[in-house]
Every structure is written in C-alpha cells, then in structure tokens.
C-alpha cells in the first residue's frame, strides 16, 4: 500500500482514503460480519481437527491495471509452455531427446504416469485449470513460486470473498473500478464443454468429488451449482463398453466430460490404487477410447513437480521461442551434486522444501532452525537428494492487515487461476491472495493458520460484469455511516 518513504501508492489511494478515518469499532463490527457470513454459508476449513471460517481480512489487495496486464501475459505464457510440455512428455518426449530435461528427472517423478500415454485430449488441452502461485520479492518483482496443474483449489474463496466484501463494504466499491470475478464458472463450463470428444453440441459435464468430508467440498458444490451440472461421487458413475454412465432418477445417462477433483491415484482402481472407492473403475480405458474426457488430464502432476519447475524457463524458450515474462524463484536442486553441496553448506541461510510436499508442511526455514534440526535435515538430504529443493528466503511483499485494532503489515502471496478452452487462456482478474497472519510468518497456507484477502484488479472503466456483481450484494450494509459504531471509538492505527 505504501512506498518506502511512506507515501500511499497511487492505485491504493482511494482505498486508503476510505479506510484510514474509519473508527476501529466500525471495522471490528464489519470484520465480525465477514466471519459470520462465512460461517452462515458453511465456508470453513479444518485446522487442528476443528472447523473454522477461512479468515477474510477486511483490507483488499489492489493490483493496478498495468501491472495485471503484465502478470496476465506471463501466466498465459507459462500455461502454454506447460501445456506443450505435457503433450510432448506423454508423446515423443522431444525435450528429453534434445537433452533439455534429463530422462531420469522424468522417470523418477512420482506423478509421471505411463498410463497417461495414449490419452490424447480431443482438443489438445490437458491443463483445463491452472493455479500459478506468485510471490513479490523485496525488489517488487513478481516471481512464480509453484505451478498447480492437477486440482488447483481456492477459486471459490475468490468468488465468495468478493461477494461477501460487496455486502459488508459496499461503499468501498463505489470508489474504485474493480474488475469482476463472478464469471469464472462461465469460462470453466465453456472450457469443459469444448473438451468433449462426443456429443459436442450438448455434452454432459459432471463434477467428480471425493465427498462431503473433503476440505474443498464447498468449492466442488459451488462450481457444480454455478455451472448447472451434476455433482457426483464415484459411486454415481460406472463404465460399460468403454463409456462412462451416470446413475440418475430417470435412468442411466452417458457422461462426456468429468471435471474431477480427486487425485490420479484414486481415480481408477484398475490403473492406480486398487483399494480406492472414490473413483470409477475403467474410466481411463473409456478416456483412451475417446468416449470421455478427464479434466484436468491424468498425469499432469509431472508438470507441477518442484524439480520440473526449475526447467520451466527452458520450456518457454524450447516450445515457444520466448523469454520468460515471469521469473522463477532461484532454486537449488539437491539431486545435482554441485547444487547439493551448496545447500548443505548454506542450509542455515535457505528454505528447504520437500519435492512432494504441499500445504506448507515439511518446510525448514534455515535461519530459524536449531543446530539439531539442520543436522537432521542434512542427513535427510544425503539419503534422498531427489526429494529436496532449497531456495533463498524471499521476503514476501506485505499488505496492511487488521490485527486487533491496528493495520499491520503481513506477508502475502497470490494464486491466479487460468482456464484453457483450447482457443485461448482466460486468467481470472486477481485470484486468491493468501496472507500469513502470525507476525513474521512467511507461510500463507490455511492449514498453517493463514487467511485471505479480496484481490482487486483495477480497470480503466467499470465493466457490466462488475456492475452486476455489485448489484447482487443485497442490502446488508454493516454499521453504516452515522451509526454509533461508525461515530465512536478510537481511530484505526495504520502501520506500513
């Protein structure tokens, strides 16, 4: 929000001017309203065995129109390169033949599935949905931290954050031209329908969920409802003659596209985990026969492997003949002897990450580690160098965040969502801003106590979609101007 000299950044000025004079009591009431709205809608996640609302901070993150244009181009470029890589690696593997990527890197990847060979999508799309995690370093450069190409989640929070903020803070939206996010499901449905191999005029699309106990079930349900398609579990589907059918009250119905929200390992017990009851026996054979499309495609996990990530800049050059628009975070690959030696020598200065880790688990922050922890980590690296990468500590950018009665800086990242329909890649304006709520923490994952912010991408003029989004906010305005909460109480203190 602020320049180093304390001046408010231009794209934050309207927001700052609206929030700065607001009484702390008013903001407290509105903050409670955000939590209450999430609880009322059942938008929760499990932390330490307890259901809690996903914390939504009252201060949005604002991205200027020009900056978003640059980010969007970089995300599209990256998705296109990764799409080409997946087609290649499950085809002729020319990038391996040309020695851009080592063969053993591919064959040692846990998410490289030989069963995916021969599964050629009708419209060539394997990455129907991507979540590209970005961080902004201390120099102001956006860098890609991670690619999520299997089952990227969190887009429901993007849409619900906006809807809830528009209800609780309608006055803020009158001061800014904020791009809409409510049309995501329209783009997703278009991409899924475009993927169909058969019945192209009116394909049957379903969302496959592991069930109500999955942490992202709310998102599965929301997307199915907004797209107007059936939400199904594995037991609702069956295969016959290399085709997939859905059990309905009117009888069986053939399914053309499955937007699956379960991992490869549980998708087909005939091909992967034989004890899985979440998937559909025979679905891969049906896909191989061209009778159903699985989105995202089976085998995409190799594209978001943390070691393969290191080679995405080379992929962009190899497949697109372009320079990366979004750089990676500098990464040391422990499976390479010289880089491993550097990591072992400088481990107390680095962040150590398991290649197969997720959710912020298994990460070691070298500067905060004890001598015993560092010694144990070195043993672990030597035992399995393929399983580890290390990165410099990136001082993530901060955004003012409400903590008690103050706005204090907290570190954030950004997960934009991209949807590929085969003709173009749509990037949802903004994405999910995750915030590390504990002071000094760099871990933004909700599983580690993180929260979220509404992400505003500014537009030159308000779009019809944004007007509709505001029009749906309802009449719920909490503590309006003139109420006791707005007029009394100490002014909120803003720290940079």
Residue-wise pLDDT tens digits, 472-493: 543 333 233 333 222 222 333 3
**H-only helix segments in 90-153:** 94-97, 103-107
For 112-127, the pLDDT digits (tens) are 999 999 899 999 999 9
User: What is the 8-class DSSP label of residue 234?
Assistant: G
**Residue 415: pLDDT over 50:** yes
Number of domains observed in the structure of the chain: 2
> pLDDT value at position 44?
67
- Is the domain of 61 the same as that of 161? yes
Q: Which domain holds residue 17?
A: 10-197+292-323+395-494
Q: Of 392, 407, 438, which marks where a domain is finished?
A: 392
- Is the domain of 387 the same as that of 405? no
Dist. CA 319–CA 315, nearest whole Å: 6
Selected residue with higher pLDDT from 20 and 35: 35
In 3-state terms, the chain is what percent helix, strand and coil (to 5)? 35, 20, 40
Nearest residue to 60 (alpha-carbon basis) of 396, 457, 459, 490: 457
- Is the domain of 83 the same as that of 191? yes
Q: Per the domain annotation, does 235 fall within a domain?
A: no
Confidence of residue 467 (pLDDT cuts 50, 70, 90): low
- Is the domain of 343 the same as that of 450? no
Nearest residue to 366 (alpha-carbon basis) of 337, 391, 396: 391
Phi, psi of 379 (to 5 degrees): -65, -40
- Is the domain of 343 the same as that of 487? no
Q: Per the domain annotation, does 248 fall within a domain?
A: no
> pLDDT value at position 466?
56
Q: Per the domain annotation, does 487 fall within a domain?
A: yes
Angle of helix 155-168 relative to helix 464-471, nearest 10 degrees, comes to 60
Give bridge partners of residue 418 from the DSSP assignment. 130, 427
DSSP 428-462: -SS-EEEE--STT-----GGGT-EEE-EEEB-SS-
> pLDDT value at position 362?
87
For 41-85, the pLDDT digits (tens) are 777 665 555 666 678 898 999 999 999 999 999 999 999 999 999
Dist. CA 428–CA 158, nearest whole Å: 9
- Is the domain of 439 the same as that of 404? yes
CA 28 to chain CA centroid, Å, is 29
Q: Of 392, 411, 437, which marks where a domain is finished?
A: 392
> pLDDT value at position 306?
95
- Is the domain of 379 the same as that of 431? no
CB neighbour class for 230 (10 Å; exposed up to 12, middle 13-18, buried from 19): middle
> pLDDT value at position 20?
67
Q: Which residue has the tokens 């909460």?
A: 485
Q: Which two tokens stand for residue 280?
A: 């559909």
Dist. CA 400–CA 107, nearest whole Å: 44
Q: Average pLDDT of 388-396?
A: 94
Angle of helix 217-227 relative to helix 184-194, nearest 10 degrees, comes to 80
Q: Per the domain annotation, does 174 fall within a domain?
A: yes
Dist. CA 293–CA 197, nearest whole Å: 7
Nearest residue to 13 (alpha-carbon basis) of 180, 178, 176, 179: 176
> pLDDT value at position 385?
96
Q: Per the domain annotation, does 257 fall within a domain?
A: no
Q: Of 392, 414, 433, which marks where a domain is finished?
A: 392
- Is the domain of 388 the same as that of 308? no
Q: Per the domain annotation, does 278 fall within a domain?
A: no
For 273-324, the pLDDT digits (tens) are 999 999 999 999 999 999 999 999 999 999 999 999 999 999 999 999 999 9
Identify the helix (H) or strand (E) that includes residue 328.
Answer: none
- Is the domain of 345 the same as that of 486? no
Quickly count: other Cβ atoms within 10 Å of residue 449's Cβ.
17
Quickly count: other Cβ atoms within 10 Å of residue 257's Cβ.
27
Least-confidence region, from 26-40, 128-142, 223-237: 26-40
Q: Per the domain annotation, does 88 fall within a domain?
A: yes
Mean pLDDT of the chain: 88
Nearest residue to 388 (alpha-carbon basis) of 461, 330, 332, 311: 332
Answer yes or no: are the C-beta atoms of 55 and 452 closer than 8 Å: yes
- Is the domain of 442 the same as that of 479? yes
User: What is the 8-class DSSP label of residue 266?
Assistant: G
Region of residue 442 (left: phi > 0; alpha: psi -120 to 50; beta: else): alpha
Rounded-to-10 torsion of CA 314, 315, 321, 322: -70
Please report, for the domain that includes residue 352, its CATH number: 3.30.1490.270
Q: Per the domain annotation, does 217 fall within a domain?
A: no
User: What is the 8-class DSSP label of residue 99?
Assistant: T
- Is the domain of 388 the same as that of 399? no
255 CB-near residues (< 8 Å, 6+ apart): 204, 205, 206, 237, 244, 245, 246, 292
- Is the domain of 131 the same as that of 115? yes
């Amino acid at each position: 929000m602020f320049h180093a000299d304390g001046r408010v950044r231009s794209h934050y000025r309207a927001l700052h001017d609206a929030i700065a004079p607001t009484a702390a009591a008013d903001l407290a009431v509105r903050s409670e309203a955000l939590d209450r709205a999430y609880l009322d809608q059942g938008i929760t996640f499990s932390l330490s065995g307890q259901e809690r609302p996903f914390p939504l901070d009252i201060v949005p993150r604002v991205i200027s129109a020009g900056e978003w244009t640059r980010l969007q181009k970089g995300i599209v470029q990256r998705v296109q390169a990764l799409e080409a890589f997946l087609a290649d690696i499950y085809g002729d593997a020319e990038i391996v033949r040309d020695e851009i990527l080592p063969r053993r890197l591919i064959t040692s990847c846990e998410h490289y599935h030989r069963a995916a060979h021969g599964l050629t999508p009708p419209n060539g799309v394997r990455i129907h949905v991507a979540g590209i995690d970005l961080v902004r370093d201390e120099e102001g450069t956006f860098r890609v931290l991670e690619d999520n190409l299997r089952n990227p989640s969190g887009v429901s929070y993007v849409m619900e954050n906006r809807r809830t903020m528009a209800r609780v803070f309608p006055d803020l939206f009158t001061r800014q031209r904020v791009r809409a996010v409510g049309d995501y499901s329209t783009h997703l449905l278009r991409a899924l329908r475009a993927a169909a191999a058969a019945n192209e005029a009116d394909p049957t699309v379903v969302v496959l969920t592991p069930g109500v106990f999955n942490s992202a079930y709310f998102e599965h349900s929301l997307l199915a409802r907004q797209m107007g398609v059936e939400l199904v579990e594995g037991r609702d589907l069956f295969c016959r003659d290399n085709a997939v059918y859905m059990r309905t009250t009117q009888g069986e119905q053939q399914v053309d596209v499955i937007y699956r929200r379960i991992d490869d390992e549980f998708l087909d017990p005939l091909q992967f985990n034989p004890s899985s009851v979440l998937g559909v026996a025979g679905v891969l054979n049906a896909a191989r026969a061209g009778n159903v499309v699985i989105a995202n495609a089976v085998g995409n996990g190799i594209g978001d492997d943390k070691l393969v990530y290191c080679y995405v800049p080379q992929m962009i050059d190899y497949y697109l003949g372009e320079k990366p628009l979004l750089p990676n975070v500098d990464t040391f690959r422990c499976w390479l002897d010289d880089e491993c030696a550097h990591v072992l020598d400088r481990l107390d200065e680095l962040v150590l990450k398991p290649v197969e880790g997720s959710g912020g688990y298994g990460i070691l922050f070298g500067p905060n580690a004890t001598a015993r922890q560092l010694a144990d980590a070195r043993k672990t690296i030597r035992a399995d160098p393929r399983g580890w990468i290390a990165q410099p500590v990136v001082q993530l950018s901060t955004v003012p965040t409400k903590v008690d009665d103050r706005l204090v800086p907290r570190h954030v990242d950004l997960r934009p969502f991209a949807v590929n329909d085969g003709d173009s890649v749509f990037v949802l304006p903004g994405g999910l801003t995750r915030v590390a709520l504990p002071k000094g923490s760099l871990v933004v994952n909700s599983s580690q106590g993180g929260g979220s912010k509404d992400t505003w991408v500014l537009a030159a003029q308000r779009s019809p979609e944004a007007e509709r989004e505001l029009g749906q906010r309802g009449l719920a305005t909490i503590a309006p101007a003139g109420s006791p909460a707005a007029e009394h109480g100490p002014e909120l203190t803003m720290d940079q």
